Structure 1
């Protein structure tokens, strides 16, 4: 099985959750290969790169399943890529409205600096621009084309995103939704949940 870990905003290929997932698979199931692409670039390039990666991995071995694991903004991208490719996806506190939630950067400039057209620079080096917000606006999540292949794990204690909105959207679309009390946006207990995560991926 190929697992593509899709990190969120202000993260990178070396995301803690991505590394924990890779180490767990290496130790308990070496037949699972975790890919951790760095996605700190414009959203259209992220989407195209992920579709290309899914297509490449699927074409390399038709019998080897490919699954996306997306966290936060990575959950949004994983949903789009699942729609485009039919690939299965496991989402962790997925962002459902980045065209709205990322507007918080419009008044902030670049980490307090004045830089033309750049609204915010992530810790991974992605300069978010107004053009990026426009792209998110024209690629809003409205449907899930393969709901039986999508599972969303949502923490009710998510302090950054609206957990209730995410629950409603994925349930209404027919995806599997696993709601967990408490917790936080970062899924700080992710390491403890890895056995269940692997079970979900294998199913």
Structure 2
């Protein structure tokens, strides 16, 4: 099963989440893909993801995390012993999200939500200083990411498999080129040779 963890202010309606869901459906694996709406609270987001993941074995589960979801996926992969694909992952969200404390809306909704100051401490509690099994990780980092520094990503997963995309952007707008390689890492047969 693939559990997709979206980024900050994002949702299951994000570009990459919908693209992967469509591709999994095309490949006959629609039931093996989940992308829940994550709560604003990191502690609650992790609890929700762990609840879904608990129904799988570590061998049958792959986490795909985008941006803040990549930070969550790293924490959970270490905790659960499963694989993780990291798409432009946040490496230091306690630092990066400090300026977003307050009320805002998500990208795919007009519904307001509050990112509370205590969530910064919740993020700090999820920090993974160094991954223990780099072979369980695939990093996809875009040098053109306008939000996060791709060099921090590469440095944080030094012995892991890495796809460094020249250019692109934070949302990896050219993700279609890489989705089958991502799915192959997840153990999904796509019919394409990598």
Q: TM-score, normalised by structure 2?
A: 0.87
Residue 95 (1) aligns with residue 95 (2): no
Q: Structure 2 CA distance, aligned partners of 1:98 and 1:74?
A: 10
Larger radius of gyration: 1
What are the superposed Cα offsets for residues 91-132 of structure 1, whole Å, 9 maximum, x if unpaired?
1000000000001225xxxxxxxxxxxx24341654111100
Measured in 2, the distance between the counterparts of 1:24 and 1:31 equals: 8
Look up the SS of the partner of 1:57 in the other structure. coil
Return the alpha-carbon distance in structure 1 between the equivalents of residues 171 and 179 of structure 2. 14
Residue aligning to 1:23: 22
The whole-number CA distance in structure 1 between the counterparts of 2:39 and 2:15 is 16
Q: Residue deviations 1:53-82, cap 9 Å, x none?
A: 111133xxx8x7111111000000000000
2:101 equivalent to 1:75: no
* Aligned with residue 158 of structure 1, among 137, 145, 153: 145
- Taking the aligned partners of 1:182 and 1:88, their CA distance within structure 2 comes to 26
Distance 1:46 1:141, change over 3 A: same
Unaligned runs of 5+ in 2: 189-194
Q: What corresponds to 2:104 in structure 1?
A: 121
Aligned residues: 184
- What's the TM-score once normalised by structure 1's chain length? 0.83
List alignment gaps of at least 5 residues for structure 1.
107-118
Offset at 1:32?
6.4
CA distance in 2, matches of 1:31, 1:8: 21
CA distance in 2, matches of 1:120, 1:79: 27
RMSD (Å) for aligned C-alpha atoms: 1.9
